[in-house]
Structure 1
Amino acid sequence: MQSHSRLMQLKVKDLMVHKRRLVEVPDNATLADALNTMTILGIKPVANRVRAVPVAAKPGQWLGAGGSMIVESDKQSGSARKQYIGVVTMLDVVAHIAGDDGESGLDKKMAAPVSSIIGHCPEGLSLWSLNPNTRLLV
């Protein structure tokens, strides 16, 4: 009963690692850029639990992850600044590198834009946004 009580007190922000700002890559970043971003976050991405980064694009040009419209607006004007269209995961990276899509050579595969890699694995299309103050249990 005590663990249930503890869970009722937890909020989304309590689960956030290091409570830092969101790190993302633009839709035109290459796969190499995305992996570099994951590495900057931690010397060993998998060891430091950095297994995915969100992908941001200009608003209005994309359907978005799972049909959602997760948009970041300018705080002063209220106009849309960017839209999150999905997440590039380590699983997407592995699937793209190992896949037989007609591309040959690691350099060519690493130069692919992340927007073409999103969704190799379904998890990359499952983008959720939660308020940090949302309780885990209601």
Structure 2
Amino acid sequence: MQQTTEQDSSPDYEAENQRLRDKKVKDITADKRRLVEVPYTASLAHTMNTLVANKVVAVPVAAPPGHWIGAGGSMILESDKQTGAVRKHYIGMLTMLDILAHIAGDDQVNGGDDGSDLDKKMSVPVSSIIGHCLEGLSLWTLNPNTR
């Protein structure tokens, strides 16, 4: 505990914290890449491939507007830039933890760990497991110019 206190009060640590406080969200976004997302109909296998291919551990799930209650009751929408028509509603986040919990769940009840059971579990749509881990129901948005 003593080491942490000394490290937290070191001049280098304080200087780094100050540099981060002075930056905007858009300045610290890794590589300023595009948003990686999956549709609510994507299978868990497709979603896992998306996570691995993009080197991320979570993705927002997009659905058509008006059909879903968003995470925490949110209305995080994406509109067409030219027409202003709403195209997407983000309904939550899906993480690797959600997928792993789904794979591990009910194994003892069903008694099987053969390949077909895994294939069946990985073929379900993300909408069927979103929210099983509560973290997936929290969506936060930030203005890119927020410090």
Q: TM-score by structure 1 length?
A: 0.85
Task: Return the letter of the residue paired with 2:144.
Answer: P
Provide the secondary structure at the position in 1 that maps to 2:34. coil
Q: Does 1:89 align with 2:102?
A: no
Aligned to 2:132: 120
Task: Judging by fraction of residues, say which structure has more helix.
Answer: 2
Aligned to 2:59, what secondary structure does the other structure show?
A: strand
Please report how far the alpha carbon of residue 4 of structure 1 lies from its aligned counterpart in structure 2 after TM superposition. 5.0
Tell me, yes or no, if structure 1 residue 62 matches structure 2 residue 45: no
Larger radius of gyration: 2
Q: Which amino acid aligns with 2:105?
A: G
User: What is the rounded CA distance, in whole Å, between the counterparts of 2:17 and 2:96 in structure 1?
Assistant: 33
CA distance in 2, matches of 1:120, 1:74: 31
Q: Which runs of 5+ in 2 are unaligned?
A: 1-13
Aligned twin of 1:35: 48
1:22 correspondence with 2:35? yes
Distance change in 2, residues 1:77/1:66 (3 Å): same
- Is 1:72 aligned with 2:78? yes
Query: Which whole-Å CA distance do the structure 2 matches of 1:86 and 1:39 have between them?
Result: 19
Shift of 1:6: 2.1
2:31 match: secondary structure? coil
Structure 1 gaps, min length 5: 43-49
Q: 1:25 is aligned with what amino acid?
A: V
Shift of 1:14: 2.4
Is 1:8 aligned with 2:14?
Answer: no
Q: What amino acid does structure 1 have at the position aligned with 2:34?
A: R
2-side partners of 1:59 and 1:66: how far apart?
A: 16
Q: 1:76 to 1:91 in 2, by over 3 A?
A: same
Give the number of equivalent residue pairs.
Answer: 128
Identity of aligned residues (%): 66
* Higher relative contact order, chain-length normalized (CA < 8 Å, sep 6+): 1
Deviations 1:65-90 (A, max 9, x none): 11100000000111101000011101
